[in-house]
A and B are shown apart, each in its own frame.
Chain A
Amino acid sequence: MIPTHYYLILSAILFGLGVVAFIFRRNIITIFMSIELMLNAVNLAFVAFSQAWNRLDGQVFVLFVIVVAAAEAAVGLGIIILIQRNRQSLNVERVDLLKL
């Protein structure tokens, strides 16, 4: 039996790597993928707690998170296509209309 906190530490590491990718990457598609990585890390924590408490609620929440991630991916990629069409660039530094 693998201790639960192994899974939780792995989940924290993956979440942190997702944050690092979110901060340092400039391509909007890669930034979007780092969000998916963070959602996956949270899912891992959900399933680990679900196994630790021996209840299935956590797995149901994982299914909901996956549904929300799918919806988010559809809308987000639509927005990315619009940005590319209007700016001819995928660099987030070029999308700076709100910047002073």
Chain B
Amino acid sequence: MNAPLIIFFVLAAMAILGAISLILQSHPIHSALSLIVVMVALAGLYLLMGAEFVAAVQIIVYGGAIMVLFVFVIMLLNAGVEERTNVSKLAGWAGLPLAIALMGFLAAAVARSTDRVQAAAQTGATAPTKALAGLLFQEFVYPFELTSFLILVAIIGAIVLAQREKEKIRP
């Protein structure tokens, strides 16, 4: 067994255990910390695949910005341990088998789709980040500009949603 395969299995186990921990923890802040473990493991997997820039963005934007936002909101709202209300009958009875079936179908379908892929030979040792920049700013420049507009809309939406209504006077 060679070294990359061992690293892959360690990181994959980290990601899966983090995801299971996200499901089992009853306090949202513990779930958030588990999700950070998953994201760091995925960043390691991106590095293993030679996608350095995506790995860096994953750590900075996902592990940094988005998860800090989550933790911030959890602390702001003082979210406590999740109260146990009964799950709807359908979800409680059929939810887990259906979810596992979905997992199996997805894995089977997606893994079978690589049969044709293997023909495409792994050739290039180019500088991926440089090539990525070329692709992003030339071929995908209009979608890139649209995402900046999307972020602007999101900022305005978040401000409008989170501000207090001025005329309402609270006792």
Interface residues of A (CB under 8 A from B): 1-21, 23-27, 29-30, 32-34, 36-37, 40, 43-45, 47-54, 56-57, 59-60, 62-64, 66-75, 77-82, 84, 90-91, 93
Contacts and interface: CB of A to CB of B under 8 A. Distances in A.
Contacts of B122: 1, 51, 54
Contacts of A7: 45, 49
A9 B153 CA distance: 35
Given A54-B124, A78-B161, A10 B16 contact: yes
B: contact size bracket: 35 or more
A64 B51 CA distance: 15
B61 to A, nearest CB: 5
A73 B61 CA distance: 11
**A contacts with B: majority SS:** helix
A48 B143 contact: no
B10 interface: no
Contact of A54 (B45, B120, B135, B147): B120
